[in-house]
Amino acid sequence: MVWAGFTMIMLASYTANLAAFLVLDRPEASITGINDARLRNPSENFSYASVKGSAVERYFKRQVELSTMYRTMENKNYETAEEAIEDLRNDKIQAFIWDSARLEYEARKTCDFITTGELFGRSSYALALRKGNPWLPKISLNILGLHENGFIEDLDKEWILLNTTSCQEKDSSPSTLGLTNMAGVFILVAGGIILGIFVIIIEIAYKKRKDKKVRQHDISRNAFATWRKNVEKRKLRATQGSVAEARQSRDGFLKIPLKKHGVNSLMAKNANNRTIFSNSANNVAKKLVKTPEISD
């Protein structure tokens, strides 16, 4: 029963540690995008914002399916993007929705931020010129040529993506139950083993002492039985000797010499008070059961 209880305690401890690990050490899931449930139905501990009067705010205002998000962040929007980024760094808000180029730049500049989700509400940058301006075709052709030869991408890497960053990437592999999480179970097992060894030593010592007492008791009992048997034999012999002497004194032969005419005679009374004479010296003496009276 003791070891069964110890096994049940081990199983309960393992189950408790496993449940605590799965609940408490769960990796924090990042926002998946604009359709994330935390953005569509935000809780009290989760807030997000954008910039007032920006193209992003107008985009949310125009989209009917995003009206809930617009009403949620309408009173939380900032005047500038710098204020929103600073509050995001100080955990006053949990998400900031803004232009992707600026967000990627901030995420590359510091390891405190990450960009997440797919791009939405795509729009292009443009250089505004007067209608019919003769420079319009030349500028458009030069921009297209810069895209084709990779110059625009090089600018992105140098000024926005900041490829010299040394931020450590987060491990996205699933968490595993390690030795530190099960340290309590192993300590419990080690304690049980030590306690079991101690109990076994006590049991062995107790068993040896008990066997020694049993042997001593058996020896004493056998010695006492032998002594008692010898005493009983002696008593029996003494009793048999006393009975034999008493019987001999009671049932012995009584011989009385009588001188009559020179012949020994034996005379006694029998049970009928009659006298029996034997005048012959060669006759065998009669056995007398009782000798109440004797006469010549």
At 158-205, the pLDDT tens digits run 777 765 556 666 555 556 666 676 777 778 778 878 888 888 899 999
Contacts 24+ apart (CB under 8 A), 260-263: 260/296
- Name residue 49's beta-bridge partners: 96
Q: Which positions of the chain have pLDDT values less than 50?
A: 253-296
Angle formed at CA 30 by CA 27 and CA 35, multiple of 5 degrees: 140
Cα–Cα distance measured from residue 280 to residue 263, given in angstroms and rounded to the nearest whole number: 7
φ, ψ (nearest 5 deg) of residue 122: -60, 140
Tell me which residue of 286, 283, 264 sits closest to 275, measured CA to CA: 286
For tokens 């049980």, the residue is 192
Q: What is the pLDDT of residue 51?
A: 92
Q: Cα-atom radius of gyration of the chain, to the nearest Å?
A: 62
For tokens 């962040």, the residue is 73
Tokens of 83: 């204020």
Tell me which residue of 282, 237, 280, 233 sits closest to 261, measured CA to CA: 280
Tell me which residue of 249, 285, 282, 246 sits closest to 268, measured CA to CA: 285
Cα 200 from chain centroid (whole Å): 21
Q: What is the pLDDT of residue 201?
A: 92
3-state secondary structure of 229: helix
pLDDT tens-place string over residues 119-158: 887 777 778 888 888 888 888 899 889 888 988 888 877 7
Does the reported pTM lie above 0.75?
no
Q: What is the pLDDT of residue 285?
A: 41
- Please name the residue ranges forming H helices in 41-149: 55-62, 67-73, 81-89, 100-109, 135-148
Q: Give helix 183-251 / helix 2-24 axis angle, nearest 10°.
A: 170
